[in-house]
Amino acid sequence: MEYRKLGRTGIEISAVGFGTMRLPTLDGVFSSIDIEKAKAVVRHAIDNGVNYVDTAYPYHLNGNSEKAVKEILADGYRQKVYVGDKLSMWVCDTYEECEEFFNGQLERTGAGYFDIYFLHSLDKNFWEKAKRLNVLKLFDKLIAEGKIKHIGFSFHDKYEVFEEIIDAYPWEFCLLQLNYMDMDYQAGEKGMKLAAEKGLGVFVMEPLKGGQLAKEPPKSVRRIWDESKFDMSPAARGISYLLDKPEITCVLSGMNEISQVDDNINTANKYTAGHKDEKELMLYARAREEFSKLIKIPCTRCQYCNPCPVGVDIPANIDYYNMGYMYDTVEHAKNFYNRPFFDNKRSTNCIQCGECLDKCPQHLQIPDLMKMIADEWAL
Ligand SMILES: NC(=O)c1ccc[n+]([C@@H]2O[C@H](COP(=O)([O-])OP(=O)(O)OC[C@H]3O[C@@H](n4cnc5c(N)ncnc54)[C@H](OP(=O)(O)O)[C@@H]3O)[C@@H](O)[C@H]2O)c1
């Protein structure tokens, strides 16, 4: 396993880290973790070199992932890894609630302290709220008390917002959504480079687009991969693309089978930074183009339609729908669309007011599309 320096923190993290957002579940119920299997899978990863375990309150709902981490890291496993958790701005409304929430996380995970701590899932609104609640002052306090060792933020908004946040606090790392289909999405590759230039470590989330890039690709894409000099699984194709980039410290992967752990560790053992030449990278550009041809709704994710007056996240709804057809994973994408955390943003809430219509530079008939997605996909 390759270990990479995490910015200026002085610690080294395994190139593949364990994300506990998609642990094995019982009967497919998201909130019901199959703890024995989860224990076996995560410990197998640790025994084979993974030294970072990442959790958050909403994973598997209401702190269930955090509680699972406590059980998984019993029997001496806590001492073998760095543990990371996140302050989710949507669950606290005052400074005191943030601190109480944090202490709850320490208790649920049994971690004692967090080696790695993120201000969670920042967008413009959550960032403004964090500043309003004086969260940065709370971080100073928790760091001084030794409850947080290293601090960063995870991010889901435009590059311009990323630029603002990155300079607002002495962050040591960030967590970005990056994969070979999303290098121009949110902070994107540009954000990754900026973070590295400023000496921050870079964690990656959704490296396989939540598993969609791990499936057997459509034939047109398969033919492109057949030209590659590397014979690898679709998941390895996705993860090695990221490990190729020296700016990236750690690719967080959600794994729920030992075979997935082995595959991803094998990828990290074999494919270090700089292993892909121009020709290989060109194959990824062509695959991206082929996948893009399968897009059903020509939304460019410009976000001009947001905010919707009733909070429907229009681009996200379209994205799920497109992903299902692009990667031939409709059932998988439907699950994402119907997950509880998306309740307020789902197209089922569209009131057909049409306020979005004039804002869309692609002139999409958004209310019709929201209805169509709801009719076809809502459970
Ligand atoms: N802070 C944030 O805002 C945020 C948001 C998202 C994620 N995260 C963090 O980032 C971590 C990673 O994100 P993610 O879970 O979406 O990662 P991901 O790697 O994109 O997706 C994980 C899924 O990929 C599949 N997979 C992984 N390795 C595989 C392999 N070798 N072969 C076949 N399938 C494989 C599994 O799908 P199946 O289930 O279909 O088998 C797994 O559930 C999360 O667990 C979480 O810790 C943070």
Q: Please give the C-alpha separations between residue 230 and each of 27, 269, 277, 366, in angstroms, as whole numbers.
A: 37, 14, 11, 42
Within a domain: 303: no
Compute the average pLDDT of residues 301-321.
88
46 vs 1 pLDDT, higher one? 46
Within a domain: 215: yes
Within a domain: 240: yes
DSSP code string of 360-371: -TT---HHHHHH
Compute the average pLDDT of residues 247-274.
96
Q: Which helix (H) or strand (E) holds 333?
A: helix 330-337
Considering the chain, what is the average pLDDT of its residues? 94
CATH number at residue 128: 3.20.20.100
Report the separation in Å between the CA atom of 354 and the middle of ligand 1, taken as the mean of its atom positions. 35
Statement to judge: residues 337 and 265 lie in one domain? no
Compute the average pLDDT of residues 121-137.
94
Which one of 283, 306, 341 terminates a domain?
Answer: 283
Within a domain: 156: yes
pLDDT digits (tens, 9 = 90+) for 147-168: 999 999 999 889 999 999 999 9
Within a domain: 138: yes
Statement to judge: residues 77 and 9 lie in one domain? yes
pLDDT digits (tens, 9 = 90+) for 296-305: 997 877 677 8
Atom 38 (ligand 1): residue with closest C-alpha?
Answer: 211
What the block records as the tokens of 256 is 């729920």
What is the extent of the structural domain holding 337? 314-377
Query: Which atom from ligand 1 is nearest to the alpha carbon of 257?
Result: 41
Work out how many domains the chain is built from and give that number.
Answer: 2
Within a domain: 293: no
pLDDT digits (tens, 9 = 90+) for 81-123: 999 999 998 889 999 999 999 999 999 999 999 999 999 989 8
Whole-angstrom Cα distance, residue 30 to residue 226?
Answer: 36
Report the separation in Å between the CA atom of 82 and the middle of ligand 1, taken as the mean of its atom positions. 19
Among 253, 256, 258, 341, name the best residue to mutate to test ligand 1's pocket (greatest count of ligand atoms within 8 A of Cβ): 253
- Kindly list the protein residues whose Cβ atom lies closer than 6 A to any atom of ligand 1: 19-22, 54, 86, 120-121, 154, 156, 175, 205-211, 214, 235, 252-256, 260, 263-264
- pLDDT band for position 267 (cuts 50, 70, 90): very high
- pLDDT band for position 35 (cuts 50, 70, 90): very high
Compute the average pLDDT of residues 201-217.
91
Whole-angstrom Cα distance, residue 225 to residue 61?
Answer: 37
Statement to judge: residues 212 and 328 lie in one domain? no
Statement to judge: residues 232 and 370 lie in one domain? no
Statement to judge: residues 191 and 65 lie in one domain? yes
- State the pLDDT at residue 337: 95
Atom 10 (ligand 1): residue with closest C-alpha?
Answer: 205
Q: Characterize the bridge pairing of strands 82-87 and 173-177.
A: unpaired
Statement to judge: residues 73 and 194 lie in one domain? yes
- State the pLDDT at residue 307: 85
Report the separation in Å between the CA atom of 25 and the middle of ligand 1, taken as the mean of its atom positions. 14
Statement to judge: residues 32 and 179 lie in one domain? yes
- State the pLDDT at residue 215: 85
Statement to judge: residues 135 and 37 lie in one domain? yes
Whole-angstrom Cα distance, residue 18 to residue 374?
Answer: 33
Report the separation in Å between the CA atom of 145 and the middle of ligand 1, taken as the mean of its atom positions. 32
Within a domain: 72: yes
Q: Flag whether the pTM goes above 0.85.
A: yes
Query: Which atom from ligand 1 is nearest to the alpha carbon of 56?
Result: 47
Within a domain: 330: yes
pLDDT digits (tens, 9 = 90+) for 191-205: 999 999 999 999 999
- State the pLDDT at residue 76: 97
Statement to judge: residues 92 and 219 lie in one domain? yes
Statement to judge: residues 99 and 213 lie in one domain? yes
Statement to judge: residues 54 and 141 lie in one domain? yes
Atom 2 (ligand 1): residue with closest C-alpha?
Answer: 121
Report the separation in Å between the CA atom of 18 and the middle of ligand 1, taken as the mean of its atom positions. 9
- State the pLDDT at residue 302: 67
Whole-angstrom Cα distance, residue 267 to residue 252?
Answer: 13
- State the pLDDT at residue 203: 98
Contacts of residue 23, defined as CB under 8 A and 6 or more positions apart, other chains included, come to 33, 34, 38, 41, 42, 59, 60, 65, 68, 254, 256
Among 41, 90, 205, name the best residue to mutate to test ligand 1's pocket (greatest count of ligand atoms within 8 A of Cβ): 205
